[in-house]
């Protein structure tokens, strides 16, 4: 199953996880230092639901924002 919304096309995006060590300046330290950066993926909140379309019922993979926004009609 592809991690893509069938209504709006929302899919995975990429980003970084940033590891910081040290004590913050406002807490009396010399500041936070970045000690590691690794790639990560942000996945959409996909739900597999039954949708009414063209007089029938089909299963669709839809993101939560499309369900909340009323872009689909649940069966």
The single residue listed with the structure tokens 């009609």 is: 73
Question: Over 70: is that where the pLDDT of 1 sits?
Answer: no
Q: Which residues, 6+ apart, have CB-to-CB distance to 10 below 8 Å?
A: 4, 44, 63, 65
The pLDDT of residue 57 is 96
The pLDDT of residue 20 is 96
The pLDDT of residue 2 is 85
Report yes or no: 13 and 30 within 8 Å, Cβ to Cβ.
Answer: no
Domain boundaries, the chain: 13-68
Q: How far apart are CA 22 and CA 34, in angstroms?
A: 9
pLDDT tens-digit series, residues 3-58: 999 999 999 999 999 999 999 999 999 999 999 999 999 999 999 999 999 999 99
Helix (H), strand (E) at residue 14? strand 13-21
**Cβ count near 65 (within 10 Å):** 14
């Amino acid at each position: 199953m592809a991690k893509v919304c069938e209504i709006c096309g929302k899919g995975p995006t990429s980003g970084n996880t940033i590891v910081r060590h040290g004590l913050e300046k406002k807490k009396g330290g010399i500041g936070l230092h970045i000690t590691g950066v690794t790639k990560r993926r942000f996945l959409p909140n996909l739900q597999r639901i039954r949708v009414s379309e063209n007089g029938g019922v089909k299963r669709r993979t839809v993101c939560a924002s499309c369900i909340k926004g009323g872009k689909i009609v649940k069966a």
